[in-house]
Structure 1
Amino acid sequence: MQALWMVLAAFGFASMAVCVKIASEWFNAAELVFWRGLLGMVFMWLLARRQRVSLRTQYLGMHAWRSLIGVLSLGAWFYAIAGLPLATAMTLNYMSSVWIAAFLVGGAILAWNPRAGRLTQGPLAFAVLTGFVGVLLTLRPTIDQNQVFAGVVGLLSGIVSAFAYMQVMALGRVGEPEARTVFYFAVGSALAGAVAMAILGLSRWDWNHALWLLPVGIFASIGQWCMTRAYSHGATLVVASLQYSGIVFGALFSVVLFGEEIAPMAWLGMALIVGSGIAATALRARAAPNAPAEEH
């Protein structure tokens, strides 16, 4: 049943991305981040109340830092969704596991003492290299279509998401429940979105267009709730790996709903990223078996 909840979570996040892509025709990324945060804040408050989880925290600074980098990742991802094929934007955002693995390999190399013996990060390094090859293959078609900037922003969303995830792990180590962490992230998203809206300005409001903002928050909340259920009895490798079904849903939506053509090279790149992400997740799970869920 946990595996099914994770698939439903991936479907929820992919559906949110569909709504973001449609809504981006009329609203900028700041507005999308604001509404995603506001609706998510209400949902997580209700969920925390149901679970009897207090929203008071002793680690406001850690939550603020997690929210800051999380909002940067979310805004970059929403921008990439607007400017790239949906499947490409989804895939680049799911690179966070590979980036975390890259950080681990880089840290091991910097801390390596040749006298202590040889490095033991070979499998993880191979997963990282495979992921980077996948990125090159996935981004090649976007370069041909003059979507380089959006592709770079999408790539950055995955990098920053990796930093946000490591901060989530730090909050988990000090005992912060996931509902509280996600609630403060939603609060940070709403606040940051409001500030950015004040700077960038508001789009012309049309109720027919604004209706697409509602499912952005609803599907994000559904995805978060299903992910929480999937991890409610402890993280497992199967459950963690099934989060990558979001890339599959994204590819299907990209082709069926938007009529976007995905080059064979991009399909191969996505497959390599999925494989390297699962491998990196499995290898990382040995070091942190109870790591929290990755959010989108």
Structure 2
Amino acid sequence: MKPTDALIALMVPLVWGMGLVIAKPAVDQFPPILLMALRFSVTALLLVWFVPVPRGMRKSLALVALVGSTLQYGLSYNGLKLLDASTTALIVQIETPFLLLISAVWLGDRLTVRQLAGLAVAFVGIYILTGAPNLLGKWVGISLAISGAFMWALGQALMRRLTESQPDRLSGMGTIAWVSVFAAPQLFVASLLVEDQHWYHISHAGIAVWGAVAYLGVVMTALGYTCWYHVLGRYPASQAGPYLLLLPVFSILGGWLFLGEPVNQRMLIGGVVIVFGVALLTVQRSSAIK
């Protein structure tokens, strides 16, 4: 990988990992679903002018947005409200094992022995992590984060079916833009249904909230995914994917440095086991040169 592309690839886990750190103070004082509605509104308004209307795909994209964005972020960020940013980042690494399981059961993909081992290791890591002192008694937050990870995987599987049935119909930026267009109103409706005092929260929101909206909408979503699709467009997923293993590392460092979150032995052991399991799933062995 060229040095400039490697730097862009490294930006992705940094930007995404720090997103949870920046969002944590915001969700502590602001409704999480409303925060996500504002986030996707910013992304949609920023990008939708530069991509074509996906004719014939709008219903499918609305479903992808409902599952992979509205439900996913609604669950994950309500989990973040109850957990530390660093441990949430470790828990959501279970997204990749969930995606492989869904692909095997629903899409008919065959899992190798290496992948089955990776699945087992990742779930063992989650079990170890849930015994960390800062997670004791926080089963609601853990369950929300894990459920959000499952919804992300299901959304990715839906997106894969859509792109396979209509290849080359939608670019990476187009996907981000139109998923955001559909996710924003869905999240506003969800917020109206399950959250309250919307005008009070908006009118009393401080710099932590509006800074999080700007970062999540512009940097994490628009810039982060643009960088990600740039790398995927130039290199195979097996070469780009391992960079994402650094995401929880940046979240843990950011949580410790900026939020004063504790880092304990059980958390580190569980995190290492999870990341190792995900590595078995995503890092492919290089073929021998003959």
Please confirm whether the aligned pair reaches a TM-score higher than 0.5, indicating the same fold.
yes
- The one-character-per-residue Cα deviations of 1:22-70 (angstroms, maximum 9, x if unpaired) are 1112211111110111011123225xx2xxx423331222111111111
Which residue of 101, 117, 135 corresponds with 1:126? Answer: 117
Distance verdict in 2 for CA 1:245–1:99, change over 3 Å: same
Per the alignment, residue 138 of structure 1 pairs with 129
* Aligned counterparts, 1:76-95, within 5 A: 76-95=75-94
Larger mean CA deviation between 82-91 and 128-137 belongs to 82-91
Per the alignment, residue 294 of structure 1 pairs with none
Shift of 1:105: 5.3
Distance verdict in 2 for CA 1:218–1:242, change over 3 Å: same
* Aligned counterparts, 1:1-150, within 5 A: 1-46=4-49, 49=50, 53-70=51-68, 71-104=70-103, 121-141=112-132, 145-150=136-141
Distance verdict in 2 for CA 1:97–1:161, change over 3 Å: same
Shift of 1:143: 7.6
Does the 8 A contact of 1:80 with 1:89 survive in 2?
yes
1:32 is matched by which residue type in structure 2? L
Shift of 1:251: 0.7
2:140 is matched by which residue type in structure 1? F
Matched-pair identity in %: 14
Distance verdict in 2 for CA 1:142–1:105, change over 3 Å: farther
Distance verdict in 2 for CA 1:192–1:262, change over 3 Å: same
The answer to whether structure 1 residue 248 and structure 2 residue 231 are counterparts is no
* Aligned counterparts, 1:207-226, within 5 A: 207-209=205-207, 210-212=209-211, 213-220=213-220, 221-226=222-227
Q: 2:101, 2:263 → 1: CA distance?
A: 27
Shift of 1:152: 0.8
Distance verdict in 2 for CA 1:147–1:171, change over 3 Å: same
Distance verdict in 2 for CA 1:105–1:224, change over 3 Å: closer
How much is the aligned-residue C-alpha RMSD, in angstroms?
Answer: 2.5
TM-score for both structures, normalised by structure 2? 0.85
Per the alignment, residue 181 of structure 2 pairs with 187
User: Helix, strand or coil: the match of 1:211?
Assistant: helix
Across the two proteins, how many residue pairs are aligned to each other? Answer: 271
Structure 2 alignment gaps of length 5 or more? none
Q: 1:89, 1:177 → 2: CA distance?
A: 30
1:227 is matched by which residue type in structure 2? W
The answer to whether structure 1 residue 178 and structure 2 residue 172 are counterparts is yes
Larger mean CA deviation between 169-178 and 28-37 belongs to 169-178
1:82 is matched by which residue type in structure 2? K
TM-score for both structures, normalised by structure 1? 0.83
1:193 is matched by which residue type in structure 2? L
User: Helix, strand or coil: the match of 1:150?
Assistant: helix
Distance verdict in 2 for CA 1:10–1:55, change over 3 Å: farther
- The one-character-per-residue Cα deviations of 1:120-153 (angstroms, maximum 9, x if unpaired) are 7322111100000011111212685321100111
User: Helix, strand or coil: the match of 1:261?
Assistant: coil
1:24 is matched by which residue type in structure 2? V
The answer to whether structure 1 residue 275 and structure 2 residue 265 are counterparts is no
Distance verdict in 2 for CA 1:144–1:232, change over 3 Å: closer
- The one-character-per-residue Cα deviations of 1:165-198 (angstroms, maximum 9, x if unpaired) are 1122223222232222212221122112211232
Distance verdict in 2 for CA 1:143–1:13, change over 3 Å: closer
Shift of 1:263: 2.0
Per the alignment, residue 230 of structure 1 pairs with 231
Does the 8 A contact of 2:102 with 2:157 survive in 1?
no
Structure 1 alignment gaps of length 5 or more? 112-118, 287-296
Q: 1:17, 1:144 → 2: CA distance?
A: 17
Per the alignment, residue 257 of structure 1 pairs with 258
Shift of 1:2: 2.8
- The one-character-per-residue Cα deviations of 1:199-245 (angstroms, maximum 9, x if unpaired) are 22214322534423222212222212211222221434231110121
